[in-house]
């Protein structure tokens, strides 16, 4: 699946509330998938910081899309666990979430996500996640 197909999958397989984040797929390769989270008042909490809820949501979404790309199609799967660390705030800029698949086994897949500021490239959040392949 290329960038356009993954972008289409975002509108088909994900909840409308997740689509509200207006994520765009900006890269997709064997290395992983990169999503852009556009800056918006809608995801900022008091003080202008992007809320952690949005960063966790983009992490989970990135992993799902990286697995779609890996398998060449959307397939049934579910998140087993997702662990996020918040290093510093994301303020006044878009976010870029780089998802890398660490291992895809028969029934489990492992990945990691790094979220950086799109403008200053500073690392704001890292996540690791395990998915069950159904």
Using CB under 8 A as the binding rule, whether residue 91 contacts its own copies is answered as no
| Nearest residue to 129 (alpha-carbon basis) of 106, 99, 90, 107 | 99
Using CB under 8 A as the binding rule, whether residue 30 contacts its own copies is answered as no
Binding mask 41-80 for its own copies (x = CB under 8 A): xxxxxxx-x-xxxx-xx--xx--------------x-xxx
3-state SS, 66-88, equals HHHHHHCCCCCEEEEEEEEEECC
Restricting to residues 105-124, name those near its own copies by CB under 8 A.
Answer: 105, 107-108, 110, 112, 123
Token code pair at residue 72 = 């060449």
Binding mask 7-26 for its own copies (x = CB under 8 A): -----xxxxxxx-xx-----
Contact with its own copies (CB under 8 A) among 4, 73, 92, 132? 132
Report how far residue 58's alpha carbon sits from residue 18's, in angstroms, rounded to the nearest whole number.
Answer: 8
**Beta carbon of residue 3, minimum distance to its own copies (angstroms, whole number):** 21
Cα four-point dihedral sign 48, 59, 65, 70: positive
Report how far residue 56's alpha carbon sits from residue 6's, in angstroms, rounded to the nearest whole number.
Answer: 19
**Beta carbon of residue 79, minimum distance to its own copies (angstroms, whole number):** 4
Report how far residue 115's alpha carbon sits from residue 124's, in angstroms, rounded to the nearest whole number.
Answer: 6
Q: List the end-to-end C-alpha distance of the chain, in Å, as a whole number.
A: 20
Using CB under 8 A as the binding rule, whether residue 101 contacts its own copies is answered as no
Q: Which residues make up the interface to its own copies (CB under 8 A)?
A: 12-18, 20-21, 40-47, 49, 51-54, 56-57, 60-61, 76, 78-89, 102-103, 105, 107-108, 110, 112, 123, 126, 128, 130, 132
């Amino acid at each position: 699946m290329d960038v356009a197909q993954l972008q289409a999958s975002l509108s088909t397989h994900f909840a409308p509330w997740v689509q509200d984040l207006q994520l765009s797929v900006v890269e997709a390769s064997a290395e992983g998938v990169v999503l852009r989270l556009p800056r918006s008042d809608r995801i900022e909490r008091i003080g202008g910081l992007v809320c952690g809820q949005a960063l966790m949501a983009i992490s989970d979404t990135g992993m799902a899309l990286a697995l779609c790309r890996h398998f060449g199609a959307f397939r049934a799967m579910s998140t087993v666990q997702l662990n996020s660390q918040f290093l510093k705030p994301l303020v006044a800029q878009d976010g870029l979430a780089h998802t890398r698949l660490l291992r895809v086994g028969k029934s489990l897949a492992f990945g990691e996500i790094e979220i950086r500021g799109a403008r200053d490239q500073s690392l704001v959040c890292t996540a690791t996640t395990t998915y069950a392949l159904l």
